[in-house]
Amino acid sequence: MPSLFDRFEIGDLSLSNRMVMAPLTRSRAVANNTPTALMATYYAQRASAGLIITEATQVCPEGQGYIATPGIHSAEQVAGWKQVNQAVHAAGGKTCLQLWHVGRISHTFFQPNGAAPVAPSAIRANMQAYTDKGMEDCSEPRALETSEVQALVQTYGKAAQNAKDAGFDMVEIHAANGYLVDQFLRDQTNRRKDTYGGSIENRARFLMEIVEAVLKVYPAHRVGCRISPASKFNDIDDSNPQALYSYVAEQLGRHGLGYLHAIEGQTGGARDADPRVDFAALRKAFKQAGGRATMVNNGYTREMAESAVGSGEADLVAFGVPFLANPDLVARFKNGHPLNAPDPATFYGGAEKGYTDYPVFG
Ligand code: 8OZ
């Protein structure tokens, strides 16, 4: 029976265990959205994870919707991420950059020249953004032209090249949580009349073209994708999520991707949020089509994770808040040690406090 603490191979990439640090937005990239030495320290402290997935990282300036999130579109950002990779690799860890574009989950405050955020369709999200004036409603987005969608695909390819130049072992395409790729996937937010809207195949086209662009840079087993089929976080939904995500899982599997990472249930909330979604069926579709590994996420305890891996339900388990508060989470789980309590007041923004000062056990 496989254990959470066994090595796991994804092609030529050897993970020291099956515990993955989930992507966690921390909003500490202060100047020009550039990764800092403090971020390198934070990630290196957590290098005993089998794999570290970075916080969501915008592929272009228009992809931003929150304060101080890092980018992967400037030379300065690539240099910043190089420091992170050097630190994590020196500590024996493996890294995966999460490629992100917020789409309509933004505000003119974040956009170059104060322009409208972009989206598949001009439908405002009933959400708020934290701007210089405090919380404000997300701005009404503008629908992307077909040629702009095609250009954005190339932007993802360029971002993947930047990630490779910065030394990342893998990249993960963020297709979850109501951001741009998810806005294309789901029919509540995608009302397009061109080849990127309408049928499931059309709505998934943007994601699949991004996959193809990224595969020109990374071999398939070093590319993952994160989805959240049952989550309505960021004001999003679909009329038939099982049909939509079965197609997505199968297509991603056909490309032989390294992993399919699914948030089970509502992001950061109930695991049984949407009874319409059968996650085991999605995992099976991905693997049967040729996908390598499955990664599960959302509120896993050590016991739940051991059972998921031991039973073969999943290959990898991603932990968010537990890794945030416990740099030595792997050793704590292995030894049955108690966990540090997370401090939600320091999740976003700030400096060392609640970031690099969580103690290791003992
Ligand atoms: C929390 C705060 C800001 C962004 C996600 C990138 O939900 C995020 C995010 C989460 O995927």
The model's pLDDT over 107-157, given as tens digits with 9 standing for 90+, comes to 999 999 999 999 999 999 999 999 989 999 999 999 999 999 999 999 999
- The CATH homologous superfamily to which domain 8-346 belongs is Aldolase class I (3.20.20.70)
Residue 30 has pLDDT above 90, yes or no: no
State the average pLDDT for the chain.
98
- Reported as a single tens digit per residue, the pLDDT across 316-359 is 999 999 999 999 999 999 999 999 999 999 999 999 999 999 99
Indicate which residue's Cα is closest to atom 3 of ligand 1.
25
Q: Active-site residue numbers?
A: 179
Choose one of 54, 102, 177 to mutate for the ligand 1 pocket test, by most ligand atoms within 8 angstroms of C-beta.
177
Average pLDDT in the 11-29 region?
A: 98
Enumerate residues lining ligand 1, CB below 6 A: 25, 56, 66, 176-177, 267
- Reported as a single tens digit per residue, the pLDDT across 272-294 is 999 999 999 999 999 999 999 99
- Reported as a single tens digit per residue, the pLDDT across 166-212 is 999 999 999 999 999 999 999 999 999 999 999 999 999 999 999 99
Indicate which residue's Cα is closest to atom 9 of ligand 1.
25
**Burial class of residue 272 in the structure, from the number of CB atoms within 10 Å of its CB (0-12 exposed, 13-18 middle, 19+ buried):** exposed
Closest atom of ligand 1 to CA, residue 234: 7
CA distances, 207 to each of 38, 219, 264 (Å): 33, 17, 20
Indicate which residue's Cα is closest to atom 6 of ligand 1.
56
- Other beta carbons within 10 angstroms of residue 1's beta carbon come to 8
Find, among 194, 290, 274, 198, the residue nearest to 231 by Cα.
274
**How many whole angstroms from 354 Cα to the centroid of ligand 1?**
18
Find, among 315, 235, 260, the residue nearest to 8 by Cα.
315
